[in-house]
Homo-oligomer: A and B are copies of this chain.
């Protein structure tokens, strides 16, 4: 049996432990809250509170319009993109921070259509992909005469035939935490002549990603999960440099051809001429305050560089999720849970999900009432995200301890936990 003392011992040997101080967790700590929902909304970096204050009162308040130049607002989206590139194996000048993940996916699909094998008819994705990806793809496919084919994870390989135009996958599944082997899947798609778009929503900042090495074609991702960029933080988009070169050659434009993606936005010419490279993937004026907040979030992950970097993050993430699953086995086996996250470490991201046949929502609520914040994903999944930058091994122990208490006491049966709120 694993004890709380074992966990405390692990924490004391944890090279990433000092990074927890980068986050504003004193409120949670005082409340006794264990936050296991960084996969939905990362914790506020202390630096972000300060930095947002500077941007608002200094740059906007005192600098006013001058800050576009003096505070570098105009280069913000690409500058933060460059920082982020280091976390996903992309080169400098290849990543642009802009818009939402959904909007960026729309751009990526349009770009994929530009480079796909002509005559191919199928856009393939997983039926368990995050809904916004499927919704954007569904309308896109309909509009462009493609067939959207939604398959189970196990059925992807069989669908990589000469009809496959685009394979669009989320690297780490939002419900189960299953992680695709990016390099192998990309290679299989390429062998079949298909283009691959990766959604890194649950990967960026959570697991090592190397887009160039994997030979991926396009990628998008989210700023507010493991990148700790704040609620509704801008998202990002990446394209392989060979595609960027091809786009440059043909002056290809994406449909969201807004003014900041123009080759010379401040010439104010009536006709559109796309900027070179990734810059054409920006559209309107960037959300400055939100982008500045995202920078602080990205910096928290980059700060791990001095403590072992993404390798250390990954190692701790695997250890945390392993610990969670072992403790569920030891403490909650009798309560009807099934672990749906792969036991094999290299097949999962930084979350662990457990299914409960009929009471998942009520148990999540009862657990939140006991200060353990995870979330529920219909119909039956309790989702727990582990963020190596601030989650402690003892937190995992305490979380499972409280879950066991919720189950043993039967307090999840309290009728007030059955009432479903708007968002969970």
Contact = CB atoms under 8 A, between A and B. Distances in A.
B255 A106 contact: yes
Interface stretch (A2-10, A40-48, A350-358, A409-417): A40-48
Interface string A114-140: 000000000000010111101110111
A37 B64 contact: yes
A391 to B, nearest CB: 13
A423 B49 contact: no
A349 interface: no
A9 to B, nearest CB: 28
B49 A61 contact: yes
A283 B131 CA distance: 12
Contacts of A132: 258-260, 284
A293 interface: yes
A200 to B, nearest CB: 15
Contacts of A285: 100-101, 224, 231-232
In the complex, the count of this chain's copies comes to: 2
A302 interface: no
Interface in A40-77: 40-41, 43-44, 48-49, 52-53, 56-57, 59-62, 64-69, 73-74
Given A136-B258, A287-B290, A289-B231, A266 B422 contact: yes
B64 A28 contact: yes
Given A131-B259, A378-B267, A378-B268, A56 B60 contact: no
Interface residues of A, number: 90
Contact of A378 (B67, B266, B368): B266
Contacts of A258: 100, 102-103, 132, 135-136
A171 to B, nearest CB: 18
A271 interface: yes
A89 interface: no
Nearest to A77: B232
A76 to B, nearest CB: 9
A265 interface: yes
Contact of A232 (B56, B135, B139, B286): B286
A395 interface: no
B100 A232 contact: no
Contact of A61 (B24, B73, B271): B24
A231 to B, nearest CB: 4
Interface in A248-297: 253-260, 262, 265-272, 283-291, 293
A225 to B, nearest CB: 10
Contact of A65 (B41, B127, B235): B41
A44 B60 contact: yes
A169 to B, nearest CB: 14
Nearest to A24: B61
Given A262-B131, A270-B131, A423-B266, A67 B231 contact: yes
Given A66-B373, A103-B256, A422-B69, A138 B231 contact: no
Contacts of A129: 270
Contacts of A287: 231-234, 287, 290
Given A255-B140, A266-B422, A64 B373 contact: yes
A127 B270 contact: yes
A284 B101 contact: yes
A155 interface: no
Given A103-B283, A131-B259, 14 more contacts: A37-B65, A40-B65, A52-B52, A100-B284, A102-B284, A103-B284, A132-B284, A139-B254, A150-B270, A232-B291, A234-B287, A266-B424, A289-B289, A289-B290
